Structure formats: structure tokens, C-alpha cells
Structure 1
Amino acid sequence: MTLTRGLLIAGQEVPASSGRTTADIDPWTGRPYARVAAATPADVTAAITAAEAAFEQWSDLAPSQRRRILLRAADLLDQRTPQVVELMSHEVGGAAPWAAFNAHLAAEILREAAAGITQPTGAVLTTDLPGAYSLQARVPVGVVAAIAPWNAPLILGTRSVAMALAMGNTVVMKPSEDAPLACGLFLADVLQEAGLPDGVLNVVTNDPADAPEIVETLISDPRVRMVNFTGSTAVGRRIGVLAAEHLKPAILELGGKNALIVLDDADLNYAVDAAAFGSFMNSGQICMSVDRVIVHRGVAEEFTTRFARKIDSLPYGDPCDPHTVVGPVVNTRAAQRVTALIHDALGKGAHLASGTGKVEGAAGTLLRPMVLTDVTRDMDVFHGEIFGPATVIHTVDNDDEAVALANDTPYGLSGGVITQDTARGLAMARRIHTGIFHINDQTVADEPQAPFGGVKDSGYGRFGGRDGADAFTQTRWITVQAHGRAQYPF
């Protein structure tokens, strides 16, 4: 039976003002899994009004009460892991281990945000004013616009709202059109059950064709005071420009062209396992996925042989099968985009060490995991983010070449190096231009207490930890004339 969901505005589930709905497609079957309300600009405005009305009461709520709500929501997410697994398999084709990890990490994000509620939120400053105190306070910004993607729907949906709510803001969330349930409405249900007051979190779903108008209405409303967006660099540029036009701060976590470097002293069995996980977890549809494995020439042939053998053995297919490692990509457009990159490379001289480059499955969304070799600069895959079940092996002669190749991209999100020499790895980490780097590990990692974000075309701003708390508050300078009177010249 197809699920039907409305918008969440002021704590109530309501239809779109136009009465329209849009289909949420199961990428494995190609059939609608759910139908959700297709919001209009008027609906967005109503959601902002609800968030503005709820702000004062929520921001004034005792920190301990806000903390209890988020901790309760985290516990509920843990309890509903089986529901998350089922939901993500049908909505985005997520394999069971990936979906379960979404539930686990989303719960931890809520717990970390709850911990941030009672951390210090200011400082006493020095002052030359006699009898006065000078204070720096961190205060909530107000209404936050949160725009979250489909690929890690529960993780990234939670991340887009958790710290904002913890710091006393209210939120209007626009989840991805490809995951309106897991990314938005399911999460809102959990928070409501945990005791979140009406209007504190509002969710507007939309038809894909209406996305530009919905986003512009959301960001341009003067009552919205900041924006956070996770998604592609192309869309992030437009979001950043729109936010800047309205003088609103933005956190943009965008794409990556992440490199895993395998040095000549690496444990090759470990390197193969690390590269396989980093490249093909969630069918490579993670912003931190390994798009490039850069291998020292001395071990390149042996690494490639072992890696190809490993990738050929990965079970791929139905995401509802508990043994599946690589499920379908999110839709037919994604499959066509990935195969276009592969076919362009093959036509210019690249070779497939694993995979076929052919689309499979009844819905046209399944790709056997692929490994490309002999990739050159004239190929689209050399520069473009793959964001699918494929990776590239490059061979280099020394550490300097590895660093240069890793940095030869406009992106700068994540990176990693496999080596048994920690000092060598640290020296490489200092030279790689990314916001995240892992020594003796692959590129996909996320901990809610760590500052998460990139540099260059991978965006700016940070989620997580103290950086996340600061991102969703603003500094206010307050003085108190506690003793005596201020002196004026006239």
C-alpha cells in the first residue's frame, strides 16, 4: 500500500494548499512507495510563520528541558532501527547495514546536540569601563532554513536540525524530494513523540519541479535568519548566492572528489578492505566516498589485482536482501549519469578492472560495482564527482606525486592515506587540501562531536562539536554597569 503524508506545519499534518501531491519512488521497483504533499510558496510562508511564533517560547525553555527532548528522541531512533531499515530500503535503495548505521549515527547526533545545550555559551571580556562588566553571549539566531539530501537521509536530515534546535532556534526543513520521509517526516514524527513543541520543527515537502521556487521563498523570507544546506556543489553555489543576496549566513556541505592514497609500505590486504568500504558503501553515494585510489607504483599491480578480486565478490542487487552490499542508485538519472562517465572514459582508453558499465535491474538503477584504470585528464571521470558505485585507480611514483594528484581537484572534503609510518602519514596530511583527513583509514567517517565540513568547492562552515554550536548561534556583546555610574563628557 502506498503511504500518504502531508506537510508538517505548527505541529499539524496538513495537505498542500493546492491539494497537489508528488510521488516518492522506490528505486528498486520503480514504483511509488509514497505520495507526499507538494508544497506551494504559500505553504512555505505558513511554515515560517509557525516557526517564528514558536521561537520565543522554545528559546526561553529551560536548557534541561530541551536536552530531555533530544535525548528522548535519540532513544526512540535507536528503538526504531528496524523501521529505518525498511524505510530506507524502499525510499532510497539503502542496504540494511547502511540504513542501520543511519539510525545509530542520527541518534548519536541528537545526543551530542543535547550535550551542547548545557555547555558554556559566552565569556567575560576585559573592559576599560570602571564598574562595568563586558560580556560575550552566544544567542540563537531565530528561524533556520534546513535543506537536506537523500543519500544519508536520516543522518543528514538529523544533522541539519539537531544543533539548530539544541541552541534554541526553530527550523523550517525542506527534505530531499528523493527521501521526504526518512530525511524529514519520519524524523519529525520522532521528535514530536519525544515532546518537541508545535511549530519548533516544520517540514515542507515538494515536487522536484517546484524546488527552485520553494527554496527561493524559504531563503528570501526576512524572518529566516540563516541557512544550512548539504548537497551537490552546483546547487550549493546557487544556495550560497541566494543567501548572500539576503545577507544571511550559510553552512554549505557540498561534494567531494576524495582520494585514498596507498603508500608503498601499506598492508595491502588492509588497504584493499579500506578502499572497498570507502568506495562502495551505500553504492558510492556518499559525499566522502573514495572517488580515486592513488597507489605507489611499487605495489600498484598487486593492489589492483587484489582490489578487483574483492570488488568482483561484493553482493549487489535487492536492498531488501540482508546480504546485499551494493544496492541500486537512487534513480534512473543517477544511473545514466554514472554510466555516461564510465563510457566516456572507456571510449578514451580507460579500462574496467571490475564491473561492466551496464545498467541492470527492472527499474534501470542497478550497476555492478566498477573499478577503472588508465584514466587520464581528458576523461570526464578524472574531474567529475562519481557519486555512484565506481572508483578509479591512479598510479604514482612517489609521495610528492601522490599529494599533487590528490590536490588536483576543485573539491576539498575528505582524504586518507594507508601507511605503516605514522610520521609519513602526518606529513602528507599537512599537505592535502581537505577539511577532513584520515591517517591509516579510508575517507568515509563521521562523528557528531567532530567538526565536519570541507574547503574549496566542497563548501564552508562546520557541523558538529563546538563549531556546530557556534554556527547556529550569533555573538552578542552585553555590558552591565554594575557599580557606580558611567561618565559622559556632556
Structure 2
Amino acid sequence: MKPSEDAPIACGLLISDVLHEAGLPAGVLNVVTNDRADAAEVVSALIADERVRMVIFTGSTEVGRAIGVQTAQHLKPAVLELGGKNALLVLEDADVDCAVDAAVFGSFMNAGPICMCVDRVIVHRAVAEQFTAGFAARVRALPCGDPADPGTAVGPVVNAGAAQRVAALVTDAVAREARLAAGTGQVEEPGTLIRPVVLTGVTKEMRIYYDEIFGPATVIHVVDSVDKAVTLANDTPYGLTAGVITENLATGLEVARRLRTGIVHINDQSIADEPQAPFGGVKSSGYGRFGGQAGAEAFTDTRWITAQTSGHAHYPI
């Protein structure tokens, strides 16, 4: 396991300690930490090592592409779980209160840096005004600040660079006439805190339309039909997960079939991960699955073994 340089304890060393205390034999899990400057060299060495039979990577699409190339060169299977531009579709018949609850949680859990978080809420015009007002009000009231305070709902992002990147996406959108329904997009002390942002009026010319946000901001798009909602949801290079809020299960299933994502949750937001379920995306969100039977197959090789139980096989020559 090579954890992120931004969080080597939580994403590697702590997991190793927990598994060791649970009885995992020494040497089964090996954690490799490194300086960021050495990351590419370390990754290349790990992939090339003959003891490594397959590679699982969770991270950015940019790095995932590089890892995919290297694993292919060594003919080693890879599972790549990469970025997302996940949409929550709020249809005309949606329970608006339910949709608001789902959107708040899906957009701002963990301050937004989750590959499954809601980057876009695509809402039918018939309920758009009610939804936007309720959603923005809830978001403005979210307690922000110290993650050690049990009352905090949205804490800081992982480092100053991550905060500045999200702030730049919001600043670019506002400069191009997007409107702030909640938040300012400004970085606050200690240099890693951004209060939750909701943007409306976002267009394709703005970076935030296509770029993964991976932080405490989301966008509301208003559409006039289910067809337009599906088209907009699919207008992204990513395809990880999505949610559909509707009172009609048949409609939800029909919409789910048309979305180009690896995961769809009907009457729920986009964040959900269970160990028995296959997890993964399509397009620039990566390939392969972990979890459930698909995960078992990803981590194993199917073999064919035969045995003659009596006599001898007969051969033509």
C-alpha cells in the first residue's frame, strides 16, 4: 500500500496498525511512504517489481492514466478508481424536502473531497425555485470550522493547495457571471477552510462545468425535461456515480439505465459504498471493479485444472 503523500497516516499507517492488531500476519501488508518528489519513481518501481501481480489505484484521472500505461507495459491487470463529476437528478415529481436532504449530504459530506460527491444538481424547472431556495438555506446554515468539534458539519480540506484550487474554480465561474446562492468561495483561516458554495447559472465556458470540484462546492442546473436532465448528466468525461430523486420507481429505473455511470442510486444521493457491491466507474472514472463478486474476480485469476482419475488418456498419434 502506497498512501497519498497528503495523508500517509490516515490512509496507510493507521490502517496497517489496525489490521496488525486484528491478527494480520507480519509481512502480508506492506506500507510504503514517500516524499511527493519521489512519487513517480516509487510507483514505477512498485509496478515493475515481479512480486507485484496486480495494481489497484484510487486517485486522480491524470495519475490513473499514467499507471494504466505502466501496468499495460508489464502486462499486469489494474483496477483504476478515478475522478467523478457526479450528478443528482431531481425530477418533476420529486419530494423536494427529500431532494434537499440528499443534496446537502451528497455535496458536502467530508467537506466535498470524495470521488462520489455530488458536483452537480440537475433539477426540473417545475421544482427548481423551491429546491434552490431550500437547498441554499440549508447550506448557508451548515456549521463550519474545527473538525474536532462534534457540531461541525463541514471542516477544512486537506491542504492549502486543495483549498486554493476550489476557490479558483468558484472565482472563475463568478467572473463569468455565475451566481452565488450560498457561500463566497473565499479561503478562510487556517488557509484550508472554504464555507460551502452553491452556484447557479453555470455554463460550459466556466471551468467548474467540466472540472471535478473535489471540495465544498456544487452547481445547480435547471432543465425542462427528463431527456435534458439525462443529456446534461452524461455531458462529462467522467462516469462514476449518480442519484435520481423521483416518486416513480419505473421512471427512476428508466433514467438510471440511460446514465453512463458505473453506479446509480434511485431516491438517494450519489455517495454509497458497500463491500458486497461492485464499485467502479466508466469513461475517465476508470475501469475494473472492487467489492462483491466483481472484486473477487478482479483480485484472482481463473484457472483450469484437469485430472485423469482412471486409465490413460487416448491420443491420436
Question: Normalized against structure 1, the TM-score is what?
Answer: 0.64
Alpha-carbon offset, residue 222 of structure 1: 2.1
Please give the alpha-carbon distance, in whole angstroms, between the structure 2 residues aligned to 1:297 and 1:196.
54
The residue that corresponds to 2:249 in the other structure is: 422
Please give the alpha-carbon distance, in whole angstroms, between the structure 1 residues aligned to 2:188 and 2:272.
30
Please give the alpha-carbon distance, in whole angstroms, between the structure 1 residues aligned to 2:15 and 2:116.
23
SS of 1:483's equivalent in the other structure is coil
SS of 2:83's equivalent in the other structure is coil
| Residue 219 (structure 1) aligned with residue 50 (structure 2) | no
SS of 2:143's equivalent in the other structure is coil
SS of 1:480's equivalent in the other structure is coil
Please give the alpha-carbon distance, in whole angstroms, between the structure 1 residues aligned to 2:243 and 2:19.
35
Please give the alpha-carbon distance, in whole angstroms, between the structure 1 residues aligned to 2:57 and 2:12.
14
Alpha-carbon offset, residue 183 of structure 1: 1.4
Please give the alpha-carbon distance, in whole angstroms, between the structure 2 residues aligned to 1:261 and 1:208.
38
Alignment of 1:35-434 (within 5 A): 173-362=1-190, 364-434=191-261
Please give the alpha-carbon distance, in whole angstroms, between the structure 2 residues aligned to 1:310 and 1:206.
41
SS of 1:334's equivalent in the other structure is helix
The one-letter code sitting in structure 1 at the alignment partner of 2:312 is R
- Larger Rg: 1 or 2? 1
Give CA deviations for 1:116-144 in whole Å, capped at 9, x if unaligned. Answer: xxxxxxxxxxxxxxxxxxxxxxxxxxxxx
Alpha-carbon offset, residue 209 of structure 1: 1.0
Q: In structure 1, list runs of 5 or more residues that go unmatched.
A: 1-172
Give CA deviations for 1:97-120 in whole Å, capped at 9, x if unaligned. Answer: xxxxxxxxxxxxxxxxxxxxxxxx
Corresponding pairs, count: 317
Q: Which moved more, 1:330-339 or 1:193-202?
A: 193-202
The residue that corresponds to 1:488 in the other structure is: 315
SS of 2:145's equivalent in the other structure is coil
Give CA deviations for 1:169-224 in whole Å, capped at 9, x if unaligned. Answer: xxxx1111112112111111122222222211111111111111110110011221
SS of 2:53's equivalent in the other structure is strand
Q: In structure 2, list runs of 5 or more residues that go unmatched.
A: none
Equivalent of residue 448 in structure 1, options 266, 275, 293:
275
Please give the alpha-carbon distance, in whole angstroms, between the structure 2 residues aligned to 1:193 and 1:400.
52
User: What is the aligned-residue RMSD (CA, Å)?
Assistant: 0.8
SS of 2:54's equivalent in the other structure is strand
The one-letter code sitting in structure 2 at the alignment partner of 1:410 is P
Q: Which moved more, 1:193-202 or 1:256-265?
A: 193-202
Please give the alpha-carbon distance, in whole angstroms, between the structure 2 residues aligned to 1:217 and 1:302.
54
Q: Counting strand residues as a fraction of each chain, which structure ranks higher?
A: 1
Question: Normalized against structure 2, the TM-score is what?
Answer: 0.99
Please give the alpha-carbon distance, in whole angstroms, between the structure 2 residues aligned to 1:189 and 1:289.
28
Give CA deviations for 1:239-290 in whole Å, capped at 9, x if unaligned. Answer: 1111111110000001100000001111111110100000000011110000
| Runs of 4+ deviating beyond 3 Å | none
Give CA deviations for 1:295-332 in whole Å, capped at 9, x if unaligned. Answer: 00111111111111000000000001110000001101
Equivalent of residue 468 in structure 1, options 277, 295, 298:
295
The one-letter code sitting in structure 1 at the alignment partner of 2:284 is D
The one-letter code sitting in structure 1 at the alignment partner of 2:45 is T
The residue that corresponds to 1:66 in the other structure is: none
Please give the alpha-carbon distance, in whole angstroms, between the structure 2 residues aligned to 1:424 and 1:489.
60
The residue that corresponds to 1:64 in the other structure is: none
Equivalent of residue 306 in structure 2, options 471, 474, 479:
479
Please give the alpha-carbon distance, in whole angstroms, between the structure 1 residues aligned to 2:18 and 2:272.
25
